[in-house]
Amino acid sequence: MTLNGRVALVTGGSRGIGKAIAVALAEAGANVALSYRSREEEAEEVVRTMQVSGRHAVALQADVGSAASIDALVKTTVDRLGPVDVLVCNAGVGQPARLEELTLALWEETLNVNLRSAFLLTQAVVPTMRARKFGRLIYLSSTAAQVGGIVGPHYAASKAGLLGLMHSYASQLAKEGITANAICPALVATEMLTDNPRAPKPESLPVGRFGRPEEAAEVAVMLAHNAFITGQTLQVNGGVYMT
């Protein structure tokens, strides 16, 4: 299957894993809309990189913690590029907090941005996917969903919730040409890792190094291509958690 002419929407696409996925999808032939919250200059630079591949690309400001902003994001994507074929729910927050530091406000913000937004985005794009009998739903979870991780219970719970969401969409939409899968990165060299003083040393990983965002992006492109893989959780973690 080719992605030529398909429309992809990648949230949180101005940096890190989201940026790598947006660029990789464009290189694979997709026209890409990426959302960003505040880093407009970085988002526009990603757009220019994608346009080198000869694809249509747009950067759209959005706060995925807001239902109204999500509605506007999807509508503008459709108006600019067309109905969404590939949804990559990547935008998220992960403020580290020890048990004694965890507050209800931080819990609610994390669940809102990491989990609620994925539900709202999916509900917004699935109707046109069903009408066209094609769709790829890709959720960026985390190995923290299985092992707890180094960020905190709020983050682990939000990422575990994405797996349940993915399983439900996968089972209910499998006969309609729509797949749903999750990617669980861990210890990939992004700001969330490098800014966390509790992060382990790269040599502590079985592979002896941190991951690269592009290595997670390779998995996302594979899932966008593949029509037979659905309901699966793919670990991209250098061997720190093995299935």
Catalytically active residues, by annotation: 155
Token pair listed for 11: 């949230």
3-state secondary structure of 19: helix
Question: How far apart are the C-alpha atoms of 182 and 185, rounded to whole Å?
Answer: 10
Residues facing 182 on adjacent strands: 139, 233
d(CA 20, CA 188): 12
- The string over 144-173, giving b where at least 16 C-beta atoms fall within 10 Å of a residue's C-beta and e elsewhere, is bbbeebbbbbbbbbbbbbbbebbbebbeeb
DSSP 62-102: --TT-HHHHHHHHHHHHHHT-S-SEEEE---------GGG-
Q: What is the dihedral of CA 22, 91, 144, 26, to 10 degrees?
A: -10
Task: For residue 99, count other CB atoms closer than 10 A to its CB.
Answer: 7
Contact 136, 174 (CB under 8 A): no
